[in-house]
Amino acid sequence: MRPNRALEIGTGLFVLLGFAALFFLTTQLPGSGIKVGGPAGYAVSARFDNVGDLKPGSPVTLAGVRIGRVAGIAFDPTDFKAVVTLEIENQYNQIPDDSDASIQTAGLLGGKYVGIGPGGSETHLHAGSTIEFTQSAIVLESLVNKFFANFASGRESNKAPQESEAGTP
Amino acid sequence: MPLRRRPKPLERRRQPDRVTEAQRPIAPSAQAGDAVVEVAGLRYAVGRREIFTDLDFVARRGRVTAVMGPSGTGKTTLLRLITGQVAPSAGEVRMWGANVATLGQRDLFALRRRIGMLFQNGALLTDLDVFENIAFPVREHTNLTEPLLRELVLTKLHAVGLRGAARMMPAELSGGMARRVALARAVVMDPELLIYDEPFVGLDPISMGVIVRLIRQMNRVLGITSIVVSHDVHELGAIADESYLLSEGRCVASGSPDELRASDSEIVRQFLDGVADGPVPFHYPAPDYREQLFGVDDPRGRG
Amino acid sequence: MSGASTRDGLLVGMLRRIGAVAVFFGALLAQCAPALLRPRLIVHQVYNAGARSLIIIMLCGVFVGMVLGLQGFDLLQRFGSEDALGVAAALGLLKELGPVVTALLFAGRAGTALTSEIGLMRATDQLTAMQMMAVDPMQRIIAPRFLGGVIAMPLLVAIFNVVGLFGAQLVGVQLMGVDPGAFWSQMQGAVELNDVQEGFIKSLVFGTACSLVAVYEGYHSEPTAAGVGLATTRTVVTSSVLTLLLDYILTAAFL
């Protein structure tokens, strides 16, 4: 078989493309690391008791409008809190610095995102500032537990008057 | 320039040794006139259909042996049996003394390296050009250097008169040219035995003349033992030393072309003179014409 | 070989066929090692099986991804979790659609080409001629083609998946307005290396099965025009059925 230049180049291209695709699938799909463009922003941190399953890359919104993304989640071993770094796009630079951040859920099964509730301060958040007021993720299980606890105690407190009602006539 | 030329003689001295190494016969070479191929008591059946019942056949060293017979007598099958592509039901085929049917693939391949075969349609490899087709067996079995290989291939192409077609693809060749290329490929490894399967079929008179000349040349000049399977009585008469006439699974006549021509056997006469009806009947066996026509026995099975 | 199925019943015929393919597979594997010593032949076949199927694979990948984007969006919207579209598309492509659709396309594009090529070689005595030149066609013709298919398939599947993901992204993010950050981050959060690996193993198995069927049918085709045509049809049918059957078995094994 004589060497055939075009054929070998074509095969090389194909194999390269295939391996590039395999590389992408194995390294970029699972785990973190990919940045999907987006304008540059400034970093603000917020401390939460519980971030739920918030992930790097999750959106940050204000009044339902996306203004940035979660850049990173770290753990502070001194006070056992989660430190979330929010990357807010540069065009949103007039957010009052007494705003609060809460972790919310998109829909019943949707992913978590960080919602910013604007405060009334005259000064604004800037790179490196910290959001003081935070509300942790609502964990469905604890919510359900709380609900049932309330429900049970409610039934208990309801039961007595019912019985007494039944007893009065 | 002198720098580039220098290594060549060195390679020349070294390389041919390898070729002969690859071709070293597995049995001691026979004397002229000895049997190269010997078929004895051969029986071969496919399912219930017997193709050969009891066939004897000998091809001798340095001779051209012709196998003739009407179409459908299994001439090509005989070649497949001789070359070990199929095994006989009974009897044996010996090549240079070795029983072909009992050889393993390694020995069989060693045997086949001493054989060149010309197929009915050339059987050129369609994805390679003419040059590469002829170079194919050499590349597979030796590691000749490229310049030496080129020399060898061009020599063989020149011998069949197609040096100018070296870079054509098989699809661009006419039937006659394809067969000449196939012939060049068959002899490129310098075989001791050449087998031709219907070399004259479908050729115009000029190409036919060329092939006849080449076959004779291969035999007379290079001394290659040849087996030619064909039904072209006239062409075979010009080149064969010995002929076998096959019919109905047996050899019905054998001898030199002159002996055959002088024979008064009915079947030999029918075959050589081209008579439509005779021992080989014009009609394929069928039920009675009248009965079949008038619906007694419908050929489609139900009436 | 081919007359067998007419004489035997359906069941015995099938059993014979499976046996014949298995024996053929063994003989083929034995010839793969010597074939590996001649990489140029394999490169040629990787080109035939892979590079030549690239366009159709990428085209189909984009469309499958786009459909996945649309359907996934419609379905997830009902639960208010459109953000999970990335996960749905990635897992759907990696684990099922990528390997299966690529294998089906491979059977139709590369498999049929292999079968008819080998079948025509058989019909024009090229394989016999090789044997007469003391060259084993199994080693020189069949094994490189088989290996080329086995190598090309996982690469094709990977390309199909990536292209499909971008198709899904195109529809989901650009057209339907799913948040791109959520699309990718959820996907990265939920997809594990195991899922990628599962898809890779599937593509290897399908590649082996489809290539084996293609070269088997070609090698054993009736040496006539009709025979080669029939063999080509059988390649597509057998490969497709085998792919889906193996897909079920593999999925069940992985879960």
Domain boundaries along the sequence of chain A:
42-138, 139-169
- Rounded to a whole number of angstroms, the distance from the CA of B148 to the nearest CA of chain A is 15
Provide the residue range defining the domain that includes C241.
40-254
pLDDT value at residue C220: 92
Q: Is residue C77 part of a domain?
A: yes
Lowest mean pLDDT among A23-32, A40-49, B232-241, C140-149: A23-32
Which residue from C129, C135, C136 is facing B123, i.e. has the nearest CB?
Answer: C129
pLDDT score at C110: 93
ipTM of model:
0.74
Locate the chain C residue with the closest alpha carbon to A14. C51
Interface of B with A (CB under 8 A): 128, 132, 139
Supply the pLDDT for residue B217: 84
Interface test with B, best of C132, C135, C228 (most B CBs within 10 A): C132
Report yes or no: A48 and A112 within 8 Å, Cβ to Cβ: no
Taking the Cβ of residue C224 and every Cβ of chain B, the question of whether any pair is shorter than 8 Å is answered with no
Residue C25 lies in a domain: no
Total domains present in chain C: 1
Q: Is the dihedral of CA B30, B31, B32, B33 positive or negative?
A: negative
**pLDDT tens track for C13-35:** 888 888 999 999 999 999 888 88
pLDDT band at B56 (very low <50, low <70, confident <90, very high): confident
Task: For residue C188, tell me if it sits in a domain.
Answer: yes
Mean pLDDT of C174-190: 81
Name C228's Cβ contacts closer than 8 Å, sequence gap at least 6: C115, C116, C119, C120, C123, C221, C222
Q: Write out chain A residues lying below 8 Å of B140, CB-based.
A: none
Residue C56 included in any domain: yes
Residue B18 has pLDDT above 50, yes or no: no
Considering only residues C248 and B15, tell me which one the structure prediction assigns the higher pLDDT.
Answer: C248
How high is the mean pLDDT of chain C? 89
Q: Which of B82, B88, B80 is nearest to B58 (CA)?
A: B82
Rounded to the nearest angstrom, the minimum Cα separation between A2 and chain B is 8
CB contacts of C124 in chain B (<8 Å) are 121, 123, 126
pLDDT at B303: 42
Count chain B–chain C contacts defined by CB atoms under 8 A: 49
Residue C23 lies in a domain: no
Q: Which of B105, B110, B121 shows the shortest C-beta gap to C124?
A: B121
Q: What is the pTM of this model?
A: 0.74
C22 assigned to some structural domain: no
For residues C92 and C251, what is the distance between their CA atoms, to the nearest angstrom?
12
pLDDT, residue B2, reads 43
Chain C neighbours (≥3 Cβ pairs under 8 A) are: A, B
Q: Which of A25-39, C71-85, C180-194 has the highest mean pLDDT?
A: C71-85
State the Cα–Cα distance between residues C125 and C123, nearest whole angstrom: 6
pLDDT value at residue B111? 87
Query: In degrees rounded to 5, what are phi and psi of residue C185?
Result: -70, -40
Give the per-residue pLDDT at C164. Answer: 94
pLDDT tens readout for residues B95-131:
888 888 888 888 888 888 888 898 888 889 888 899 9
Between these two residues, C163 and B55, which has the higher pLDDT value?
C163
Contact (CB, 8 A) for B227 and B196:
yes
**Pick from A66-80, B254-268, C90-104: least confident:** B254-268
Confidence of residue B201 (pLDDT cuts 50, 70, 90): confident
- Select the highest-mean-pLDDT range: B281-285, C101-105, C190-194: C101-105
AA identity, residue C79: F
C156 to chain B, closest Cα gap in Å: 25
The residues in C 196-235 lying below 8 A from A, measured between CB atoms, are 196, 199-200
- Torsion angle, alpha carbons of B191, B195, B201, B205, to 10: 50
Q: Which pLDDT belongs to residue C207? A: 95
Residue with tokens 């989901």: C172
Query: Which residues from chain A sit within 8 angstroms of residue B139, using beta carbons?
Result: 1
Taking contacts as CB-CB distances below 8 angstroms, the residues of chain C near A38 are 180-181
What's residue B5's pLDDT? 43
* Mean pLDDT over each residue of chain B, to the nearest integer: 79
Distance from CA of C219 to the nearest CA of A (A): 22
Q: Is pLDDT of C145 > 60?
A: yes
Does a structural domain hold residue C120?
A: yes
In this complex, is the C-beta atom of C85 within 8 Å of any C-beta atom belonging to chain A? no
Query: In this predicted model, what pLDDT tens digit does every residue of A2-39 receive, in sequence order?
Result: 557 788 888 888 888 988 888 888 777 765 444 444 55
Task: Find chain C residues with C-beta within 8 A of A19's C-beta.
Answer: 155, 158
In this model, does residue B44 exceed pLDDT 50?
yes
Percent of chain C with pLDDT over 90: 55
- How far does the CA of residue C196 sit from the closest CA of chain A (Å)? 6
Mean pLDDT of C210-228: 93
Chains that touch A (3 or more CB pairs under 8 A): B, C
- Find the mean pLDDT for residues C144-153: 94
What pLDDT is attached to residue C119? 94
Check A55 against C94: CB less than 8 A apart. Answer: no
CA distance A103 to C189: 17
Does C135 sit within 8 Å of B140, measured CB to CB?
yes
Residue C18 in any domain: the answer is no
Task: Give how far A1 is from chain B: nearest CA, Å.
Answer: 7
